[in-house]
Amino acid sequence: MPSTDVLIVGCGLVGGTLACLLASHGVRVVVIDASPPPERLDPALDGRWSALAEGSRILLDRAGLWPALEPSSQAITDIRVCDAFSPLVLDFGGIGALGHMVENRSVRVALADRLATLAAATVRAPARLSTLERGPYRVTATLDDGERVDAALVVGADGRGSQVRALAGIGTRARAYDQTAIVQTIAHEESHDGLAVELFLPGGPFATLPLPGNHSLIVWSERAALVPGLLAADPAVYQAELAQRVGEFLGDITPVGRPQAFPLALHLAHRLADTRLALVGDAGHGMHPVAGQGFNFGLRDVAALAELLIDAHRLGQDPGAPALTEAYSAWRRPDTALMLALTDGLVRLFSNTHPVLTRARRLGLASVNRLAPLKDLLTTHARGTQALGRLPRLMRP
């Protein structure tokens, strides 16, 4: 038999969660990651946080990760969406936790700890793929240290610049937004009370997300050309620009640590599956952070693929059979294309000052707030407990 059932390339948030889910159901996995564990767990390297929708939290709980994450997480209990030029707001409060903010580094620590307890999981890091051969009956990979791994299926969980995707010759469609996201932690005077605010500005959406204590995370999408100037500006000027956008609800604000900048782009792999291969997370698709869906959407891939693989394992089926990879692709492809189109549409709708569009979106926000059923629908999507397509079993409450 192949030396393992599934070879997962990339032990980040998406690949690591998949490994935990599979191994805890007896599916054998080998996970390789290019960065060595100490570097991956270095607190100085990654001050990033992710907004976890409720469905994603359920999935991390099923993967045995949530108990370790909960203490350092922050619940989002209210979301307000506002348009810069209008007093009208869309308010999602009053229904319990809409999501949680978790620190990426905490997730990585929890993943490493959990994987170490699972007998069916083997982690190899640092290790890179040298070659990848996919035949009708198995996948054979060689690692840069010369070791050979035989698997029934290879999963590319290796991010936007996926090596697995490249080695498989799967192209992507990509379009850069003329926007860069500035990610900045701030400390503030007043409590945020679990409130997340998304403000649509002409330069791009500006989100303030609650972190534990009197801290919040700013995700500021801005016209790309303005960003280098902002980051090079006098700290007082930068802080004033931030404060003006955050508004007054948090009292005085102070940036904590350095801002990080990420150019924004949309990309979609031509195929999410191929012979004995599946792509999950950013290896398959990337979207604008406007809806806070990137990470959650990657976890939706994980939940779907894990469900198919666990079912196949319980029936003694070949985990890399064409029936399985085709089912994965048929499940995720339409959902992905629709989500990319939705986030793309939101960005285009809001990131401009055309008077007709400005009026239309104000009316839109206001009427959504008045129409209870439509708001409920949007809320369940924000919570991630319902899908456009079939919601994976592992994400259901």
Q: What is the contact surface with other proteins in residues (CB under 8 A)?
A: 1-2, 24-28, 119-120, 136-138, 150, 314-318, 322-323
User: Which residues, 6+ apart, have CB-to-CB distance to 252 below 8 Å?
Assistant: 188, 189, 243
Min dist CB 328 to other proteins, Å, is 15
Structure tokens at 34: 């290019």
Element (H, E) at 194: none
CB of 329 to other proteins, least distance (A): 16
The SS3 assignment for 16 reads helix
Distances (CA, A) of 233 to 227, 229, 230: 10, 6, 5
The least distance separating other proteins from the CB of residue 53, rounded to whole angstroms, comes to 26
Q: What is the DSSP string of 322-338?
A: HHHHHHHHHHHHHHHHH
Name the H helices within the chain: 13-23, 37-40, 54-62, 66-69, 104-117, 163-167, 227-232, 235-246, 294-314, 322-350, 355-370, 372-383
Q: Nearer to other proteins by C-beta: 51 or 141?
A: 141
Shortest gap between Cβ of 310 and other proteins (angstroms)?
8
- The neighbour count for residue 275, using CB atoms within 10 Å, is 14
Instruction: State the Cα–Cα distance between residues 98 and 92, nearest whole angstrom.
Output: 8
Nearer to other proteins, 38 or 136 (CB): 136
Give me the half-sphere count of Cα atoms (radius 13 Å) on the Cβ side of residue 177. 29
Name which of 21 and 209 has its Cβ closer to other proteins: 21
Nearest to 58 by CA among 29, 24, 99, 95: 99
Q: With beta carbons less than 8 A apart as the criterion, state whether 155 and 280 touch.
A: yes
Could you tell me the smallest distance in angstroms from the CB atom of residue 315 to other proteins?
5
CB-nearer residue toward other proteins: 28 or 381:
28
Nearer to other proteins, 45 or 323 (CB): 323
CB of 302 to other proteins, least distance (A): 18
Nearest distance, CB of residue 395 and other proteins, angstroms: 18
CA distances (Å), 106 to each of 63, 183, 352, in order?
15, 18, 37
Q: Smallest gap, in angstroms, from Cβ of residue 27 to other proteins?
A: 8
User: Cis peptide before 235, with omega less than 30 degrees from 0?
Assistant: no
Give the residue with the Cβ less far from other proteins, 232 or 315.
315
CB of 239 to other proteins, least distance (A): 52
Nearer Cβ to other proteins (26/229): 26
Q: Cα 39 vs. chain centroid, distance in angstroms? A: 21
> Between 188 and 313, whose beta carbon lies closer to other proteins?
313
65 versus 90: smaller Cβ distance to other proteins: 65
What is the Cα–Cα distance from 354 to 177, expressed in whole angstroms? 18
For residues 267 and 160, is the Cβ–Cβ distance under 8 A? yes
Which amino acid appears at position 338 of this protein? L
Judged by beta carbon, residue 140 or residue 163, the one nearer other proteins is 140
CB of 101 to other proteins, least distance (A): 31
